[in-house]
Amino acid sequence: MTRTPQHAEVDRVFHALGDRTRRLIIEKLSEGPISVSRLAKPLEITLAAVVQHLQVLEQSGLVRTEKTGRVRTCRIESSGFSVVEQWIRDRRSLWERRFDRLGALLAESDEK
Amino acid sequence: MTRTPQHAEVDRVFHALGDRTRRLIIEKLSEGPISVSRLAKPLEITLAAVVQHLQVLEQSGLVRTEKTGRVRTCRIESSGFSVVEQWIRDRRSLWERRFDRLGALLAESDEK
C-alpha cells in the first residue's frame, strides 16, 4: 500500500494499538487464527471485554473475525498495520528530505 | 535497527502514539525543529500540557528537546519509530511464516 492513509484511519489504528491488552491479542493472533473463547482464557478478562477489544481491532483493520456455526474465529488482518507503516514512512520522508536540503546547503556554503 | 524491542519500550511508544495531540506534535516536528512555544500556539492547549506531551514523547524516543539559552527546541528522534516498525515486522514475519507453512502443507497434499 503506498497511498497516504486518511486521518480517521490513522486515529483508529493508533487508538487501537495504544492499549496493551489489544497488543497482546495481536501478538497472540500473529501465531495463528484462534477462537474468541480460547483467545480470552489467558488474558484474564471477561469474554465481554475481549469482544469489545476485538471490535476496536476489527474497526481499525488489524483483526478479522468470522463466525462458523457457534464458533467465532479471529485472525490478523494486515491493512491496519500498513496504515501505521505508511504514516511513519510519510513522516520519515518529510524529515529526511529536510536533512537532504540541509546537507545540500552546507555543501554549497563549503564551496564558497 | 534489527533487534527486537523490549516490551516496556513498545508499551511506551504505542502509549505515546495513541494520543491524537501527540501525533499532531510529531506531524509538526517532521517538518523541522521548532521551539516549544511556537509548537504550542496552533495546538490550542496550555503550554504546560504541551510540555507534558513532549515529556511522554521524549521518554519513548520519538522526540528530542534541547535548551539553548531560554529557548527549548524540539525535534524528531527516529529511534521510537524504529521500535514500532520492528514490532510490526516481527508480527508480520510470524504470520507470513505460518502462511508459508500452510502453503507447503497444501502443496504436499496436492502431490499425494
Q: What is the ipTM of this complex?
A: 0.85
Instruction: Give CA separation, A99 vs A41, A103, B33, in Å.
Output: 49, 6, 11
| pLDDT value for B104 | 80
Residue A35 gets the label, from left (phi > 0), alpha (psi -120 to 50) or beta, of: beta
pLDDT-wise least confident of A71-85, B71-85, B90-104: B90-104
Q: Which long-range contacts (CB under 8 A, 24 or more apart) does B78-83 make?
A: B78/A92, B78/A95, B79/B1, B80/B13, B80/B16, B81/A88, B81/A91, B81/A92, B82/B1, B82/B5, B83/B1, B83/B5, B83/B9, B83/B10, B83/B13
Mean pLDDT of chain A: 90
Q: What is the pLDDT of residue B1?
A: 45
| Residues of chain A contacting residue B18, judged by C-beta atoms under 8 Å apart | 14-15, 17-19
C-alpha cell at B34: 521548532
> Chain A residue closest to B62 (CA)?
A88
CB nearest to B91's CB, from A10, A26, A92: A26
Higher pLDDT, A106 or A89: A89
Report the residue from B26, B27, B91 with minimal CB separation from A27. B91
Q: What is the pLDDT of residue B100?
A: 76
Mean pLDDT of A25-48: 92
Q: Give chain A's length.
A: 112
How big is chain B by its Cα radius of gyration, in Å? Answer: 20
Residues of chain A contacting B63 with CB distance shorter than 8 Å: none
Contact: A30, B95; criterion CB under 8 Å: yes
Instruction: Round to whole Å and give the CA distance between B91 and B9.
Output: 16
To the nearest whole Å, the CA of A6 is away from the closest chain B CA by 14
- pLDDT (tens digit, 9 = 90+) per residue, B52-78? 999 999 999 999 999 999 999 999 999
Mean pLDDT value across chain B: 90
